[in-house]
Amino acid sequence: MQSKSRFSLKAKSIIAAALVAGGMAGISTPAVAQQSKFITVGTGGIVGVYYPLGGAICRFVNAGRKDHGLRCTVESTGGSVFNINSVMSGDMDIGFAQSDTQYYALTGAGAFKDKPQPKLRALFSVYPELVTLVTRQDANIKTFSDIKGKRINIGDPGSGTRATTELVMGAMGIKKEDLKFAGELKFVEMAPALCDNKIDAFTFVAGHPNAIFQEAASSCATSIASITGPGVDKLVKDNPFYAKANIPGKMYKGTDNPQPTFGVLATIVASADLPEQTAYIITKAVFDNLEDFKKLHPAIANITKEQMLAGNTVPFHPGAMKYFKEKGLMK
């Protein structure tokens, strides 16, 4: 995916923030407007979990804008890889990213091969995301290894889903050439394409329950396939940011039994160049409003402050650490 220009992202951010966060009051006071700093949050597709959670983060930040001068707006993006690239280039201030994508960015591996990002920093983690393979029941795909010879959407370029799917394929010895079709559809296009018989299955790394899976299950006969085997065992063993998990049975129509898979954590990242006070304000806004934050989606309903410090694979930003130490969450 091609990167959006700094101008387009920042310009839209300023306009959106002025309308949403400030309203006419923000426009009518030039002195305040000049002192304001606009920050942008990179999320994901509008039907995923990242986007509404990003909106909540901005709402919490904007509630205190009279005190700190920050105005926050949300960008819908291609996902983890795009967000990290945008954060590191300065096009965005913070972004959502899978914990494995964090690691690969820091070390210059995976989607960031030979392009390490040593200044990538974490603010906090949010919730578990599971690697999920959704298939039409008539496609006869029971496990991930069954995708050979099938039409599979492997993920939007620039997304964490795409990066993780390619890693799983590699671990299982499956090449793109082994697929009848390797799709690159955006998140909002996946369920319609599946039910219109344009693809046989799609992968998605996401929290559960998820609107995309619910849309597919309610529109045609679908099921969730298992993702297991020696290749997955080795991935989990070799990489501490992966963990095995089950997608609960009966969560989606057509999938009665729990389906084994593995997953990562959704995290919030920033550049080390983000001012310490900005990172502090964002972290404080979320943690001080955690009970309201948890009501936004079932995937985060049971998270705790302690859990939100776990699973990150890059160093914490000093601004986040300042807040954690103030609250006794970190020594």
Mean per-residue pLDDT, 111-123? 96
pLDDT in tens, 60-72: 999 999 999 999 9
Question: What is the rounded CA–CA span in Å between residue 37 and residue 53?
Answer: 21
Residue 331 has pLDDT above 80, yes or no: yes
Across all residues in the chain, what is the average pLDDT? 89
Question: Any idea which fold 129-264 has?
Answer: D-Maltodextrin-Binding Protein; domain 2 (3.40.190)
Residue 311 has pLDDT above 50, yes or no: yes
Q: What angle do CA 163, 165, 170 make, to 5 degrees?
A: 100
- How confident is the model at residue 35, as a pLDDT? 58
pLDDT in tens, 22-67: 433 333 333 444 357 999 999 998 888 999 999 999 999 999 999 9
pLDDT in tens, 82-103: 999 999 999 999 999 999 999 9
Q: Which CATH architecture has domain 6-127+266-326?
A: 3-Layer(aba) Sandwich (3.40)
The full length of the chain comes to 331
If pLDDT is split at 50, 70 and 90, which confidence band does 262 have?
A: very high
Strand 120-136 relative to strand 259-271, pairing: antiparallel
Domains 6-127+266-326 and 129-264 belong to one CATH topology: yes
Choice among 187-191, 222-226, 238-242 with the minimum mean pLDDT: 238-242
- How confident is the model at residue 16, as a pLDDT? 43
If pLDDT is split at 50, 70 and 90, which confidence band does 21 have?
A: very low
Q: Tally Cβ neighbours within 10 Å of residue 162.
A: 23
Distances (CA, A) of 101 to 50, 80, 106, 159, 269: 15, 7, 9, 9, 11
Domain ranges of the chain: 6-127+266-326, 129-264
Q: What angle do CA 78, 94, 54 make, to 5 degrees?
A: 65
The pTM (predicted TM-score) of the whole model is: 0.78
